[in-house]
């Protein structure tokens, strides 16, 4: 992250960091495939730390923003990234293998990336992190971006809209602190010193005890000579340090299994939120002579996540059956659920090849139901040939899963009369079907007649015998039927 700084009475301007490492934190949508895609949502408030690969010193920290993005500023060096997240709600997708890929996750099961080299003026953008929601949990996160302290704000997180009430609730908290400059000046006699510059975040949680404090500091020690007459945080009596970062996290920051507390603070309807009042402050403390002066800038960002854990089987739709049956010209789809918690709708999808799927309808789900529910949908325009059907079962939190695939072959013969026919063959159009072309082939497959957009076809000049009539409709579908021409 880069910040615009006001002018300071320091020895020099803040030296820029020449390179950066960035990535995106995302949550997998079902079906899980370990690859970031447009269907996946982004996760805010995840703590990311850039560590010196040789010393494990924290070089830079950041929290993922509302778009799941983070950026770590640094100079050339060998680094490792550590990711800190609410592990009760998320597990990690499989770490990428081989060449770097912007859509794959960079962390292994220990939450660290592999060691990598960052060169001068280089921007690496492929250190994202992918999450898979843990079974029977819902996790929501939020974040407030880095701002010069002091600031006050309310962090908002969704309440649980799932029945029954969660078994427990856990809150995750994290802060990222950045000091562009830390200056010290000795205005007296020579002395040793120790400075601690900190970012302090106080959150008022909706769980007793309410007050929760995170405090992260950067400590610098040294000695300074007698005052040289200039308060410039430089020279023999002063020193300035640049681009120092620190962090703090607590998981769980607070947790409860009290149904009374959960119901009163964390349960509501879709769209309702609860608030975490948050205050950010900066502090500076030092030991040494009483004539030390300091000049410090501090930027603080803070994040919070809530993890709701439910009883087994509370979240997913339990699909008991799903089948497709040809009835007349329609394909009727029927399915049943034995239990639904937080379900929103079923999208009906159709394919002819199992690769390209189109949504042909939607049916509203029961939402929350402990008893069996029956659903049905009629596909009134199946294609001739193979029809593949599946359900996309979408929950209120936008997660989804697919049903098994049902396959059905449709042969909707065209309705023609009379049969046998002597002169005029009439083609009956179904509602919504417009005839575009008619082909008539003889018994050995030769084209005997072709007409366009006709429902009354003159066959008086065709020889007696058996023919195959193919009707192509304007929507691209077709149907065939046999006809006997007699005189």
Q: Which of 117-126, 159-168, 411-420, 446-455 has the highest mean pLDDT?
A: 117-126
Query: Looking at the whole model, is its pTM more than 0.85?
Result: no
Cα–chain center distance at 80: 24
Complete domains list, the chain, with CATH: 19-309 (2.60.40.10), 318-410 (2.60.40.10), 416-485 (2.60.40)
Peptide bond into 266 cis (omega under 30): no
| Partners of 47 in the β-ladder | 63, 84
Phi (first) and psi of residue 223, to 5 degrees: -140, 150
d(CA 479, CA 477): 7
d(CA 435, CA 412): 14
Task: Give the residue, 6 or 153, on which the prediction is more confident.
Answer: 153
pLDDT band at 252 (very low <50, low <70, confident <90, very high): confident
For residue range 91-128, list pLDDT tens digits in order: 999 888 655 566 688 999 899 999 999 999 999 998 99
Task: For residue 193, give the nearest of 294, 291, 293, 289 by alpha carbon.
Answer: 289
Classify 484 as helix, strand or coil.
strand
- Other CB atoms within 10 Å distance of the CB of residue 36: 24
For residue range 239-249, list pLDDT tens digits in order: 999 999 999 99
What value does the mean pLDDT take over residues 170-183? 96
pLDDT band at 85 (very low <50, low <70, confident <90, very high): very high
Classify 170 as helix, strand or coil.
strand
pLDDT value of residue 101: 61
What value does the mean pLDDT take over residues 385-411? 82
Counting residues of the chain whose pLDDT is more than 90, the rounded percentage is 58
Q: Taking 60 as the threshold, does the pLDDT of residue 348 lie above it?
A: yes
Q: Taking 90 as the threshold, does the pLDDT of residue 237 lie above it?
A: yes
pLDDT band at 8 (very low <50, low <70, confident <90, very high): very low
| Partners of 239 in the β-ladder | 184
pLDDT value of residue 372: 74
Average pLDDT, the chain: 87
Lowest mean pLDDT among 151-165, 210-224, 315-329, 413-427: 315-329
What value does the mean pLDDT take over residues 159-177? 90
d(CA 169, CA 138): 10
Beta strands 77-84 and 47-52 are antiparallel
What value does the mean pLDDT take over residues 293-322? 84
Q: What is the DSSP string of 408-448?
A: EEE-----EESSSBSSEEEEPPPTT--EEEEEEEETTS-EE
Q: Which of 61-75, 343-357, 405-419 has the highest mean pLDDT?
A: 61-75
Counting residues of the chain whose pLDDT is more than 70, the rounded percentage is 90
d(CA 343, CA 394): 6
Q: Taking 60 as the threshold, does the pLDDT of residue 341 lie above it?
A: yes
Task: Give the residue, 193 or 431, on which the prediction is more confident.
Answer: 193
pLDDT band at 403 (very low <50, low <70, confident <90, very high): confident
pLDDT value of residue 317: 65
């Amino acid at each position: 992250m880069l910040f615009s700084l006001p002018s300071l009475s320091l020895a020099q301007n803040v030296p820029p960091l020449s390179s950066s490492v960035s990535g995106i934190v995302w949550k997998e949508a079902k079906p899980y495939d370990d690859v970031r895609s447009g269907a996946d949502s982004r996760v805010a408030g995840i703590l990311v730390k850039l560590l010196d690969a040789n010393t494990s010193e924290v070089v830079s920290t950041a929290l993922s923003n509302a778009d799941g993005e983070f950026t770590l500023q640094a100079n050339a060096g060998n680094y490792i990234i550590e990711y800190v997240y609410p592990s009760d709600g998320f597990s990690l997708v499989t770490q990428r293998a081989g060449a770097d890929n912007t859509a794959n996750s960079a962390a292994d099961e220990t939450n660290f990336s592999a060691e990598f080299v960052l060169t001068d003026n280089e921007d690496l953008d492929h250190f994202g992190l992918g999450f898979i929601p843990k079974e029977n949990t819902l996790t929501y996160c939020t974040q407030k971006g880095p701002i010069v302290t002091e600031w006050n704000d309310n962090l908002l997180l969704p309440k649980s809209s799932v029945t029954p009430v969660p078994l427990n609730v856990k809150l995750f908290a994290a802060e990222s602190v950045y000091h562009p400059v830390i200056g010290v000046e000795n205005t007296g006699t020579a002395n040793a010193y120790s400075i601690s510059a900190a970012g302090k975040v106080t959150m008022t949680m909706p769980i007793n005890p309410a007050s929760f404090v995170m405090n992260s500091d950067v400590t610098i020690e040294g000695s300074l000579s007698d005052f040289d007459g200039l308060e410039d945080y430089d020279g023999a009596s002063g020193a300035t340090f640049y681009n120092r970062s620190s962090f703090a996290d607590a998981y769980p920051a607070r947790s409860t299994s009290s149904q009374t507390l959960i119901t009163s603070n964390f349960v509501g309807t879709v769209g309702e939120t609860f608030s975490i009042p948050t205050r950010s402050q900066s502090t500076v403390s030092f030991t040494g002579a009483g004539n030390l002066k300091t000049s410090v800038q501090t930027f603080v960002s803070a994040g919070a996540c809530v993890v709701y854990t439910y009883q087994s089987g509370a979240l997913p739709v339990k699909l008991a059956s799903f089948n497709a049956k040809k009835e007349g010209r329609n394909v009727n789809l029927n399915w049943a659920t034995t239990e639904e918690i937080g379900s929103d709708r079923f999208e009906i999808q159709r394919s002819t090849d199992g690769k390209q799927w189109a949504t042909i309808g939607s049916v509203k789900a029961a939402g929350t139901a402990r008893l069996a529910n029956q659903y049905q949908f009629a596909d009134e325009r199946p294609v001739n040939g193979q029809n593949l059907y599946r359900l996309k079962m979408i929950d209120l939190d936008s997660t989804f899963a697919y049903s098994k695939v049902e396959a059905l072959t449709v042969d909707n013969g065209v309705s023609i009369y009379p049969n046998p026919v002597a002169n005029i063959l009439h083609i009956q159009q179904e509602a919504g079907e417009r005839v575009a072309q008619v082909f008539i082939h003889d018994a050995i497959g030769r084209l005997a007649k072709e007409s366009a957009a006709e429902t009354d076809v003159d066959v008086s000049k065709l020889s007696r015998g058996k023919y195959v009539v193919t009707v192509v409709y304007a929507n691209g579908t077709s149907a065939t039927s046999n006809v006997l021409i007699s005189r």
